[in-house]
Amino acid sequence: MTRDAYVLGRGMIDFGERYEDSFDDLLEEAYLALLDDVNVGSDEIDAAWYGTLDVADEGMSGAAVAHATGLFETPITQVVNACATGSDAVRNAVLAVESGQVDCALVIGAEKMRDTAEGLISLAAEKRVWRGRGVTMPAFFGMRATRHMEEYGTTREQIAEVSVKNHRHGSMYPHAHYKFECSVDDVLSSTTISEPLNLYDCCPVTDGAAAVLIGTEDLAREHAPELVRVAGTGLSSDSFVRGNDASLTHFPATRDASSRAYEASGYGPEDVDVAEVHDCFSITELVTYEDLGFCEVGDGGRFVAEGRADLDGEVAVNPSGGLLAKGHPIGATGVAQVAEIYEQLIGQAGDVQVDGVEVGLQHNIGVGRNATGSVSCVNVLERV
């Protein structure tokens, strides 16, 4: 027997260059922002799921959250699942509430990215002979761009439109790291990183944390301004070395994870009003439209260029500015996306509020082992 899980509240902090703040400061601020949003006492929190890759090497294990929040004598599980870390932490809390084991679960994610110079480029230095030697994140995703342009006639300008849209949204979103707008020409003339991708095709290096509270319907009725139910979740993995040609342009892991989430929720891509999806690079979002079923395979370039992902489009994609403008503190990213979808569904998204939203989707794709694998997590939320 299972029951449903609901979002009770969220705590978002400003993403950005947080040199003054320690890793613990970020966790504490997100936790306090959550308690400010939802009137739940710390003694009512039964368990916590904590997302971080611990890039800064300061936050290993649930004890880090206990230390930052005071939630000692509480079961806290660290979740690590590449860039799907935060969304998988949410998923685990949802499963726990659904199972009946936990009534009220904290999900908190944090990453201090700017304390280390290595950041995401370190993967390139991995001394693997055949797997991922010299392959950076921009290369892993950029290869999809090369092949997508070749196979579907997608243009470089269409890929840039993703970044243009997300920076426009980010300029209106209060917690975003970067709040400047840019043009297609700006993207095309920015520094080459991994041809065909340029600097403005890449998300920045950002510190941040975020929290959401997941709980029972009874608690949602007591504490939340609107009933927001987690309607379905999905998690999956894939690797391009399996020989599936779709893996050269797309992410079959996203297709499988979203199929699972759609099936569990009873919704399909045509029902989604707003989505926060993984745009670590512009091309990632473009192929994700296709993997999530927002448009036909091969149509992602036209989908963004025609404004169908805008705030007033068919599906408003990344109203928060996405990873490209808001930033990508890895462990916090998925948690923040769920917080943003919740804000949209309760009508508290301010300048980036999308009209008439009832169903929202959150998505991450991460790079797994030796830069060959990928892992994806999708969560579908609905306003009841």
Closer residue to other proteins in complex, CB, 67/147: 147
Instruction: Return d(Cα 228, Cα 148) in angstroms, integer.
Output: 36
How many Å is the maximal CA-CA distance in the chain? 57
83 is catalytic: yes
What dihedral do alpha carbons 130, 136, 142, 146 form, nearest 10°? -30
Catalytic residue among 175, 223, 328, 363: 328
Report the amino acid identity of residue 298.
G
Closer residue to other proteins in complex, CB, 5/120: 120
Nearest CA to 55 out of 111, 15, 110, 121 is that of 111
202 is catalytic: no
Closer residue to other proteins in complex, CB, 3/133: 133
Taking each helix axis from N to C end, the angle separating 156-170 and 282-291, rounded to the nearest 10 degrees, works out to 100
Q: What angle (nearest 5°) sits at the alpha carbon of residue 159, between those of residues 137 and 342?
A: 75
Closer residue to other proteins in complex, CB, 221/242: 242
Smallest gap, in angstroms, from Cβ of residue 281 to other proteins?
A: 11
**CB crowding 219-239: b at 16 or more within 10 Å, else e:** bbeebbeebbbbbbbbbbbbb
Instruction: Return d(Cα 29, Cα 195) in angstroms, integer.
Output: 38
| Phi, psi values for residue 102, rounded to 5° | -135, 135
Closer residue to other proteins in complex, CB, 135/336: 135
CB contact at 8 A, 256 and 376: yes
Q: Which residues bind other proteins (CB under 8 A)?
A: 121-122, 124-125, 127, 129-136, 138-139, 142-147, 150-151, 191-197, 239-243, 245, 248-249, 371-372
Smallest gap, in angstroms, from Cβ of residue 363 to other proteins?
A: 23
Residues with a catalytic annotation lie at 83, 328
